[in-house]
Structure 1
């Protein structure tokens, strides 16, 4: 809510690309002279691809900064902290969750339609935050190898929980086309779909021999067990 807006803006700075840091913020313009090392970058990026990176091991530690978006003195009603939002094709619903839960966060990536980040950029930003000990909040999932890499250290992933997921909430989720709309209102969806994510743990496994053994029996004598198991459905929320 509004009471937490300033705290979020103070806590979560914006990540800066290597090229942007060298051209605008480095006191030495990222000189490769060891005597002029600025503590962030050992050299300038070699090409356009490096310039767009948020982290490069041994060359660019990463850099986080406040921008006008974090300035709650000048913009008390619209200031935000930074959220590392994934591309709209992913399975998240962050745009609606942030808006309907009144969380003062905003993403500043370069991927349209809402300034999101690619998978590799998200990994770079998290690594940079771990290297520089900056606070960071972003979308991710479990199980995955990335949280495992940072487990036990200062960059360990800590989950943020929202309202308990329900069947009504999951049914109110919008589809990918809506999530990728240029219209912010469409991307947010309905408030009913702003709950937390349901766990995806259920798998139904059947041996192929079950089908064969069932079909080998004359239909008049065949057990309905195979068709019953094949048709059985249960959502994760039922558990």
Structure 2
């Protein structure tokens, strides 16, 4: 028996569910065609410029459910790509605002202009429930996240591994106590995430960490500074 989608429980409009199903199918098809050699450091940037590299549906459902559980209303997503996971984040923020009031926002980041343009088109297709919640910052996130952040409830790290720790260090001063950091592929890309994981697992870091058994790993870290 398959697990029900939390989006269906929250009565997400059918046209958004259909769009997500289509985008996930395209992403999985692309990923199946990528060879290990395509991830080599000297070619990866060029090879992935037009690829989704989206979180798998089950990971997106988990992140959505988590955002709902912690009443996240301010989320930062490092590595928006075509904006698939952003849709889930925006829907969760919108649902939280309807339930408990207030105003919410998802700050997305994307280096590739063509991907940013396509992401905005998908959000437009979703309608106001998504596009009105998202603020996309284009360019090098080491610059775009330097200023203008509110108190962050959830940080999603779904970027090339060398960028993960610099991003965390930028956002960490804005993490509220109890904020959650989700990092994708921490088993499949363990070597690349070594510095990030050592930083978060160090004594006195303020983070407690748990590796979830999703495909290639999904790290859930809770920030509780002393």
TM range (shorter): under 0.3
Q: Which has the higher strand share?
A: 2
Which structure is higher in RCO with an 8 Å CA cutoff and minimum separation 6?
1
**TM-score of the aligned structures, taking structure 2 as reference length:** 0.25
Q: Name the larger-Rg structure.
A: 1
More helix by share: 2
